[in-house]
Structure 1
Amino acid sequence: TCSTLLGLCAPPDTSDSELELSMVRHQPEGLEQLQAQTKFTKMELQSLYRGFKNECPSGLVDEDTFKLIYAQFFPQGDATTYAHFLFNAFDADGNGAICFEDFVVGLSILLRGTVQEKLKWAFNLYDINKDGYITKEEMLAIMKSIYDMMGRHTYPLLREDAPLEHVERFFQKMDRNQDGVVTIDEFLETCQKDENIMSSMQLFENVI
């Protein structure tokens, strides 16, 4: 999975040269520190960085560029809204740009993280306004954006109200105390106990 984002940084080779930190205006953190922060090896980080640098010589990816990348991978639908949400999830410090550190730390979680780490990252994606809670409206916005991105003709049997039905079913399970919002604890507990939700989370992984 995560082939879309990996396409952004497909390495031209896998030689074991040092990171060419002086080649970009925005320099990533030291190699050792990134190794400690992620679950990538030194060689993997070097390859990822070379690919990232080739695609983004400035060392930064802004939201417009991110949307263009997603549009190329999902030409059958409209990826604009989902790319917006995903960009905000990767932009950890909220400064409007994804640097190599943001990218590789998020990628490490999605590719090699534990179930809990992946679910926490997913919670952050669904928590659009970053207030620590997921509302039904936020979950619906994410779900609609995924359906839009995949394209109507990709799933011709889906009705227009399919995203809403999907969200209603999930939200009822997740909002365990019925207070109208889903907390991180409710999200983690429900997802890990419900096989249907966990299998549906694979859709999330497939569009990363």
Structure 2
Amino acid sequence: MNFEGLEMIAVLVVVLVVVKVLEQFGFLEGFIGDSIDDEQEQSMVRHRPEALEKLEAQTRFSKKELQILYRGFKNECPSGVVNEETFKSIYSQFFPQGDASRYAHFLFNAFDTDHNGSVSFEDFVLGLSTLLRGSVQEKLNWAFNLYDINKDGYITKDEMLDIMRAIYSMMGRCTYPVLKDDAPRQHVEMFFQKMDKNKDGVVTIEEFLDCCQKDENIMRSMQLFENVI
């Protein structure tokens, strides 16, 4: 495994799995090729048009794209929300060699922006817009929020260690050579040597953005999934 820029793996894994889930649920069918036909559009326009118009202003998706996403979301989540167990179930499908439950927990908290214990369609599509079509700075802000587990505006070594352990646990036996038990802690030390400019033991959003934006490998990694849909 290449450890350079590993702090971005968390975000890339999010995007990869989200795209796979969209494919699995058939969400992407309407994004490929020509526009959807009139009958489909008339059917989908019945789905809460006021809310979709608001989301169109808040995201980088068109109204028609939002209608397609909403139709798929409601088909798979009739209750209109996704709970944490569903997140864990989805991620376990894509990482059968490891344990994705801990990482799914952190990811769920990142999508659950109002911290009410569920991810609504609005939560889902706002996060998806940032991950797939946001600017580099928006994606980095999203990544910082993922790492800042207690949402106090700082990334601590303990928080980063929790994230790294979750990533390594999720990858399981897929890594070669097999990682040593202290690999997550070693990576956290590397992360802080690079990011913690004033050596105060925490990484601020300013330090995080400045360091990431100067790193060519991280910048390339943040562009990998642009224009997926």
TM tier relative to shorter chain: 0.7 to 0.9
Question: Of 196, 211, 216, which residue of structure 2 is paired with 1:190?
Answer: 211
Question: How far does the alpha carbon of each residue in 1:106-127 deviate from its partner, in whole angstroms, 9 at most, with x for none?
Answer: 0000001111000000000000
1:175 equivalent in structure 2: 196
**Structure 1 stretches lacking a partner, 5+ long:** 22-26
The gaps in structure 2 that reach 5 residues or longer are 1-11, 31-35
Q: Specify the alignment match of 1:39 in structure 2.
A: 60
Q: Deviations over 1:125-183 (max 9, x none)?
A: 00001111000111111111111111134333432222222211111111111111111
> Residue type matched to 2:21 in 1?
L
Residue 99 of structure 1 pairs with residue 98 of structure 2: no
- The verdict on how the C-alpha distance between 1:169 and 1:198 changes in structure 2, with shifts beyond 3 A counting, is farther
Give the alignment's Cα RMSD to 1 decimal: 2.3
The two structures have a TM-score, normalised by structure 1, of 0.86
- Identical-pair percentage: 68
Structure 1 residue 201 displacement after superposition:
6.4
- Specify the code of the residue in structure 2 equivalent to 1:68: S
Q: What is the identity, as a one-letter code, of the residue corresponding to 1:6?
A: V
CA drift at 1:197: 4.5
Q: What number of residue pairs does the alignment pair up?
A: 199
8 Å Cα contact 1:19-1:49 kept in structure 2:
no
The 8 Å contact of residues 136 and 222 in structure 2, kept in 1 or not, is answered as: no
Which structure 2 residues correspond to residues 28-107 of structure 1 after superposition, within 5 A?
30-107=51-128
1:76 counterpart SS class:
coil
Q: 1:8 aligns with which of 5, 12, 21?
A: 21
Distance change (3 Å), C-alpha of 1:186 and 1:81: same
Measured after TM superposition, the shift of residue 66 of structure 1 is 1.1
Work out the CA distance in 2 between the residues paired with 1:91 and 1:28. 23
For 1:24, the equivalent position in structure 2 comes to none
Give runs of ≥4 in structure 1 deviating > 4 Å: 196-203
Distance 1:106 1:28, change over 3 A: farther
